[in-house]
Chains A and B, each alone.
Chain A
Amino acid sequence: MSSLERSDVERLAALARIDMSDGDLDRLSGQLAVIVDAVAKVAEVAGEDVPATSHPIPLSNVHRPDAVRPSLAQDAALAAAPEAEEGRFRVPQILGEDA
């Protein structure tokens, strides 16, 4: 596996919704390439016969009673919102300029 390039970091940051300045990309790209190269060794050891483990202590069919219980009131849920209006979260424009 090849190391991570600056352009990869730029693309990944866009996918992860994090703005990156040129300075950020300069600083983080080199560090990330070192980390990616170091962790690539995970592919060296386990063959196809080894099953994957996603959870340390697997539990199945975890249920709780489907009963009505107290929940957050609307004003409490909205209290920490950067902006709220008419009982809803208010956000900036969600559609593109042309829409």
Chain B
Amino acid sequence: MTDWTRASAADMAAAMQRGEVSSVELTQAHLDRIAGVDGDVHAFLHIDAEGALATARAVDEARANGEDLPALAGVPIAVKDVLVTEGLPTTAGSRILEGWIPPYDGTVTRKLREARMPILGKTNMDEFAMGSSTEHSGYGATHNPWDLDRIPGGSGGGSAAALAAFEAPLAIGSDTGGSIRQPASVTATVGVKPTYGGVSRYGAIALASSLDQLGPCARTVLDTALLHEVMGGHDDMDATSLDEPVPAVVDAARDGARRDLSGVRVGVIKELSGAEGGFQDGVKQRFDEALEHLRAMGAEIVEVSCPSFEYALAAYYVILPSEASSNLAKFDSVRFGMRVEKGNVERTMAATRAEGFGDEVKRRIILGTYALSAGYYDAYYGSAQKVRTLVQRDFDAAFAEVDVLVSPTTPTTPFKLGERVDDPMAMYLNDIATIPANLAGIPGMSLPAGTAPEDGLPVGFQILAPAREDARLYRVGAALEAALVDEWGGALTAQAPELEVK
């Protein structure tokens, strides 16, 4: 009997079209898997078995009646808890929103419903997407399916772990400084941060509005592309949404799988590949091997320098807290969420926010309040915005020479839970390679590059492209994936230790 939870979304869709499996069977298989392993993994904050099966049944009936259905109809999906879902609890990982049932759907939620994809549930995340490990979730950490004592990355560790644990074939993520790509890297899955404005942010609970972008997560490059095309496109409910067609990412992924990269110029970012970034030996080794694969497929590899990246992390940790301190002012105990009564409304707000927010959220709100305060604004926020310009100029100069830029996604393989939770700067350094893309608004992908020889844990390979050129990520990514899967004799996720099914 086929274990459908191991299949790709593309294969599931094809099998349903051939009548080999129903959406109800697929959905139930994933719900059973969740019941069996999520006690240990804790990828989900909320599971909607009834709703998912109702959607699945409706898809099966429609198919039986010969209706035309969207490409991924009936393929189940997990949704990061940052995206509002009408009728399904949405907390963004925060206690301050515990039990909140949104009265509306985000645009991406609506698109998933129109694509007729059963929503399995909501995935765990660092509170309001602030973190790189899910340890800042108000509901407990998610565990990496590769080693349950290790972080699954963050903030989207729940979505990435759900994929790696075969609890879902597809998931929604959000990436403000690497929250899609870094979890993908440490779980051996694939994740894409689209070009800023490529996917509507309407109904995505805002962290830092000029950096946030929703994106697709999956186990293969093609599946990621299929979901990207479902999510993307213009939306007049988001004033930053690009009014242009979704890039042809599925075609690009199929093209890449032919493994011909003749004429493609690949730039290795000097500042993000050597000893300078504190990159682990095994990470560097797998990265260099991936470059050899690209070269063997006809790509030209050159080194490029992006000197301003040295300042990107600092600029990010000024801009993000500044925007977050403003965005999170709405959690004021008045219209939704927690209220801790303590005298008048101001004291009630302060008591509520003290009780409802975790330490990382408090740190960043205070940092943002400081950076925006009179007397400090120019030195911090003003300077950070200038660094943002310099980072963009570095990218512009680099992309004048090459078609895509590459680096390891993260400096190290996943570290142990608890190791960095009280050392915020050490935690922030995880995102050193992913942050520049958010500052510049460009698209980025992480895909598995193998496991590090010294610890057997996943290493991610990052690809960056100019704004609006998301398709290049998929072409190069699919080519590298095809070459590596050939070398491994199957997907890397198949090498993960078997989880105990309870």
Contacts and interface: CB of A to CB of B under 8 A. Distances in A.
Contacts of B318: 39, 42
A54 B366 contact: no
Contacts of A52: 382, 385-386, 388-389
A94 B345 contact: yes
Contacts of B349: 17
Contacts of A56: 196, 210-211, 388, 392, 438-442, 467
A43 B389 contact: no
B357 interface: yes
Given A18-B357, A38-B314, A80-B101, A59 B334 contact: no
Contact of B354 (A20, A32, A43): A20
B410 to A, nearest CB: 19
Nearest to A79: B103
B316 to A, nearest CB: 9
Contacts of A44: 311
A8 B383 CA distance: 21
Nearest to B351: A19
A54 B209 CA distance: 10
A1 B379 contact: yes
A29 to B, nearest CB: 10
B276 interface: no
Interface residues of A, number: 56
B218 to A, nearest CB: 25
A31 B362 contact: no
Nearest to B438: A56
A59 B363 contact: no
A57 B467 contact: yes
A43 B379 contact: yes
B267 to A, nearest CB: 20
A55 B197 CA distance: 11
Contact of A94 (B332, B344, B439, B467): B344
Interface string B187-215: 00000000111000000000000110000
Contacts of B346: 17
Contact size class for B? 35 or more
Nearest to B97: A80
Nearest to B370: A12
Contact of B103 (A51, A57, A72): A72
B480 interface: no
A21 B139 CA distance: 22
Nearest to B467: A57
A68 interface: no
Interface in A1-31: 1, 4, 8-9, 12-20, 24, 27-28, 31
B104 to A, nearest CB: 7
Contacts of B497: none
Nearest to A62: B239
Given A56-B439, A80-B335, A93-B344, A18 B365 contact: yes
Given A24-B362, A93-B345, A17 B353 contact: yes
A27 B240 CA distance: 38
A64 B236 contact: yes
Contact of A18 (B104, B308, B353): B353
A38 B425 contact: yes
A9 B363 CA distance: 9
A46 B379 contact: no
A15 B197 CA distance: 32
B439 A77 contact: no
A7 to B, nearest CB: 13
B103 A77 contact: yes
B343 interface: yes
A64 B241 CA distance: 12
B103 A53 contact: no
A18 B370 CA distance: 14
A12 B387 contact: no
B366 A18 contact: yes
Contacts of A12: 366, 369-370, 373
Given A59-B239, A80-B101, A83-B339, 11 more contacts: A1-B376, A18-B353, A19-B353, A28-B366, A34-B424, A39-B314, A39-B318, A45-B386, A56-B438, A80-B100, A93-B344
30 contacts: A12-B373, A17-B346, A18-B353, A18-B362, A18-B366, A20-B362, A39-B371, A40-B314, A40-B379, A41-B314, A45-B387, A46-B386, A46-B387, A46-B389, A52-B388, A54-B385, A55-B210, A56-B442, A57-B196, A59-B242, A62-B239, A79-B101, A80-B336, A81-B335, A82-B334, A83-B339, A89-B335, A92-B341, A93-B343, A96-B344
